[in-house]
């Protein structure tokens, strides 16, 4: 029988090689069609007496990334549609739906013939769950092989048998660690944990897999054998009595209890190890059904899986503009930021010209890349040869005429209008026709900078975040005259360096920094009120933020906060800034020389390593503190999350951000806004505009008018709409419906 997504070839030894190779995808993914075909293949090889066993592998460089977007979307759409028809039966129908994949994998492992998974590349999520259902697993030891169950990162958990097979193959502690963090394993680590049987050279993968069958691999899983015991003895052992209370405490410490999917993993493993395997699968299926009904799962999957992929693939790219092929990029300004931009560009295989005021400064910029390469080589993330190739792509120079061959010029000089003006003029004197000029600025409006350009249609902003090599977000900022070609080139470049873009219309601070500084300024207000600094920081982290607002201010630099506030006053007048905020940063910077982490003194003290940073004790003298028991942590949480979400709503109302996907993804990738909410806009949609408006009005009465809900929010509340309905990012789908 012929299949669209698979080929089946049986050799002289009776071993069927099933190769997964979807013709219209760069990576194999599970779709409804794939599931139907795999079920048919299982029936075919089971019924064929000539087939002694099956080797399952991929025809692509990767094995599989797991479930497809359409399949994930389909589960939520199915449940919402069934709920609208009959709420009393919707959960049962969802339960039946989510059991299909698990049921198929169980069918494979109980069909009576040995299956071996030959893992040749990235093997994620459902693909690894399929591999776990095979009786044997062989993985290539190539560096490209990454094995993981990363579902927790998008709000769900391994729901196709993963929570039951992993802890029956390895000890419960390692199993919990792998699944609750979603971390990737190398082939050798997976073998050490007992999750794969062999790690072999890439060219030996299929022969080794076939040999397992020839050697008499039993078509029965260990847990289906009589007398099976889980590694470590299962739940009722002294070791387990120590593990489970600690595991629960650690999970609460790491997640603040904000991630239902992570907690469900613990429940699935703990309950599942106490019952027969088929019952354990039903327990997992029950919890998976529950998690799919949570706001957290819906919002996280939408933002961190679906929207991130859509934006990364160019959802906002103008149609009709040919895709850019970059032969050379020039970066002007070889300071730490510019040098890091040069590094990520070269890491993408694009030749880079790194320009600064003199050769010494340009050469110093290249040393940043040399340091990053050295670190990667030492950690085994890059070979010495790969590092040398990367560095060979970076050419430092003081000659501005070197931009003449660049398709894209990125300016990353000091955050000063006059300095940027001079650079723009120097660069344009040598830029070739059709090349695009991008300014990396964190706050200065692009339209104003573009006034210094003779070609404003080819002028755009590309705002990177530090450290560039780690931060996955870029803001692409449109000036009033920016053309479609400039936008397309900028988005193509961001895709080439493997980052996620959001497109933002021009305004002071753009999107991310506007939200970031609302977060920081709310912490200033709390300090003035006498809220203990430790409470501000700890509650922020318990709320799902990666760092507290005072710690974040230290990282971005308090003197940068001072410059931004001063620039706001200069451009917009004294009323644009809270005078108490200005006084605080002036005192910290000018009087106390506390500029943040960069000079080892800010809201925190930064002692020499290995000692950890700690809050500056002098804050208690600057701001007399209330007793901790008199401060409600729930109010701190509300204030910090609400002020950010409210600012995000303002940017959409003002037309700065026009797509809610970008507001959500930008808030999570840009400054780590509580990922379990799905982002700043999903935080509002998740509770409903009516409840959010009520929350804003309550906070405004006690903590200031900056919490007053905007007209748009009040209108959404009145009409019972969400941002994703009002600013629908899928208008074509809405028309089709």
Residues with catalytic function: 463
* HSE-up (13 A, CA, CB side) for residue 646: 27
Please list, in sequence order, all residues whose beta carbon lies within 8 angstroms of the beta carbon of residue 286, skipping any fewer than 6 positions away.
Answer: 95
DSSP result, 47-105: H-TT--EEEEEESSSS-B--B-HHHHHHHHHHHHHHHHH-HHHHHHHHHHHHHHHHHHH
What is the spatial distance between Cα 587 and Cα 604, in angstroms, rounded to a whole number?
15
Please list, in sequence order, all residues whose beta carbon lies within 8 angstroms of the beta carbon of residue 316, skipping any fewer than 6 positions away.
Answer: 487, 491, 501, 502, 503, 659, 662
In sequence order, the β-bridge partners of residue 675 are none
Write the DSSP symbol of residue 30: B
Q: Any idea which residue has 């002692």 for tokens? A: 607
What is the spatial distance between Cα 266 and Cα 273, in angstroms, rounded to a whole number?
11
Q: Any idea which residue has 């006498």 for tokens? A: 530
The tokens describing 150, both together, are 């990363």
- Residue 590 has a CB neighbour count (10 Å cut-off) of 11
Q: Rounded to whole angstroms, what are the CA distances from 306 to 97, 510, 567?
A: 20, 24, 38
Please list, in sequence order, all residues whose beta carbon lies within 8 angstroms of the beta carbon of residue 258, skipping any fewer than 6 positions away.
Answer: 296, 543, 544, 674, 676
CB 316 within 8 A of CB 659: yes
- Residue 276 has a CB neighbour count (10 Å cut-off) of 12
What is the spatial distance between Cα 456 and Cα 483, in angstroms, rounded to a whole number?
8
Pairing of strands 394-397, 408-411: unpaired
The tokens describing 22, both together, are 């979807």
Please list, in sequence order, all residues whose beta carbon lies within 8 angstroms of the beta carbon of residue 15, skipping any fewer than 6 positions away.
Answer: 51, 52, 53, 54, 55, 210, 213, 214
* HSE-up (13 A, CA, CB side) for residue 385: 0
DSSP H or E stretch at residue 395 = strand 394-397
Question: In what side-by-side order are the strands of the sheet with 459-464?
Answer: 394-397, 352-355, 329-332, 408-411, 436-439, 459-464, 473-478, 500-505
CB 285 within 8 A of CB 159: yes
């Amino acid at each position: 029988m012929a299949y669209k997504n698979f080929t089946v070839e049986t050799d002289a030894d009776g071993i069927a090689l099933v190769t997964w190779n979807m013709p219209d995808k760069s990576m194999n993914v599970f779709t409804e069609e794939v599931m139907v075909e795999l079920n048919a293949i299982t029936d075919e090889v089971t019924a064929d007496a000539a087939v002694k066993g099956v080797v399952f592998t991929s025809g692509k460089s990767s094995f599989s990334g797991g479930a497809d977007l359409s399949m994930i979307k389909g589960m939520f759409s199915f449940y919402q549609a069934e709920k609208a028809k009959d709420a009393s039966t919707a959960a049962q129908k969802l339960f039946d739906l989510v059991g299909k994949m698990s049921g198929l994998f169980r069918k494979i492992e109980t069909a009576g013939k040995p299956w071996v998974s030959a893992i040749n590349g990235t093997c994620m999520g459902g693909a690894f769950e399929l591999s776990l259902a095979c009786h044997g697993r062989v993985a290539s030891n190539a560096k490209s092989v990454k094995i993981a169950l990363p579902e927790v990162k998008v709000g769900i958990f391994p729901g196709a048998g993963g929570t039951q097979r992993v802890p029956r193959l390895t000890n419960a502690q390692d199993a919990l660690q792998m699944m609750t963090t979603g971390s990737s394993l190398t082939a050798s680590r997976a073998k050490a944990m007992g999750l794969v049987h062999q790690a072999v050279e890439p060219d030996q993968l299929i022969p080794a897999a076939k040999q397992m069958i020839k050697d008499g691999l039993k078509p029965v899983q260990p847990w289906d054998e009589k007398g099976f015991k889980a590694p470590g003895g299962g739940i009722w052992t002294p070791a387990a009595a120590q593990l489970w209370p600690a595991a629960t405490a650690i999970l609460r410490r790491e997640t603040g209890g904000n991630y239902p999917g992570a907690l469900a993993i613990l429940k699935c493993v703990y309950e599942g190890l106490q019952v027969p395997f088929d019952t354990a699968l039903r327990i997992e299926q029950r919890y998976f059904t529950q998690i799919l009904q949570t706001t957290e799962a819906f919002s996280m999957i939408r933002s961190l899986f679906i929207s991130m992929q859509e934006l990364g693939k160019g959802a906002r790219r103008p149609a009709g503009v040919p895709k850019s092929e970059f032969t050379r990029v020039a970066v002007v300004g070889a300071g730490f930021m510019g040098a890091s931009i040069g590094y990520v560009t070269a890491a993408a295989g694009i030749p880079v010209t790194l320009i600064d005021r003199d050769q010494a400064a340009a050469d110093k910029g290249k040393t940043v890349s040399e340091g990053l390469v050295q670190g990667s080589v030492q950690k085994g993330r890059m070979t010495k040869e790969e590092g040398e190739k990367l560095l060979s792509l970076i050419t430092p120079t003081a000659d501005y005429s070197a931009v003449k061959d660049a398709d894209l010029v990125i300016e990353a000089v000091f955050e000063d209008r006059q300095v940027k003006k001079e650079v723009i003029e120097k660069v344009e004197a040598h830029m070739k026709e059709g090349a695009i000029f991008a300014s990396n600025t964190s706050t200065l409006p692009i339209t104003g900078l573009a006034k210094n350009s003779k070609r404003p249609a080819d002028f755009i902003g590309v705002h990177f975040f530090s450290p560039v090599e780690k931060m996955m977000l870029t803001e692409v900022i449109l000036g009033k005259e920016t053309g479609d070609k400039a936008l397309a080139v900028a988005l193509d470049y961001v895709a080439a360096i493997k980052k996620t873009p959001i497109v933002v219309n021009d305004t002071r601070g753009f999107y991310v920094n506007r939200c970031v500084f609302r977060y920081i300024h709310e912490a200033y207000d709390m300090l003035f009120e006498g809220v203990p600094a430790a409470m501000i920081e700890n509650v922020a982290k318990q709320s799902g933020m990666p760092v507290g607002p005072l710690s974040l201010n230290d990282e971005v630099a308090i003197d940068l906060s001072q410059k931004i506030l001063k620039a706001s006053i200069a451009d917009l007048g004294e009323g644009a800034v809270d005078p108490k905020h200005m006084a605080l940063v002036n005192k910290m910077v000018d009087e106390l020389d506390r500029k943040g982490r960069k000079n080892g003194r800010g809201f925190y003290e930064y002692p020499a390593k290995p000692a950890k940073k700690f809050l500056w004790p002098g804050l208690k003298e600057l701001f007399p503190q209330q007793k901790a028991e008199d401060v409600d942590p729930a109010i701190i949480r509300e204030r910090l999350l609400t002020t950010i979400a409210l600012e995000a709503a303002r940017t959409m109302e003002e037309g700065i951000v026009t797509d809610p996907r970008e507001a959500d993804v930008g808030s999570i990738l840009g400054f780590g806004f509580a990922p379990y909410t799905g982002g700043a806009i999903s935080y509002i949609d998740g509770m409903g505009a009516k409840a959010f408006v009520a929350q804003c009005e309550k906070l405004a009465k006690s903590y200031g008018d900056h919490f007053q809900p905007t007209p748009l929010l009040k209108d959404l509340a009145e009409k019972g709409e969400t941002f994703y309905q009002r600013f629908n990012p899928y208008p074509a789908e809405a028309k089709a419906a």
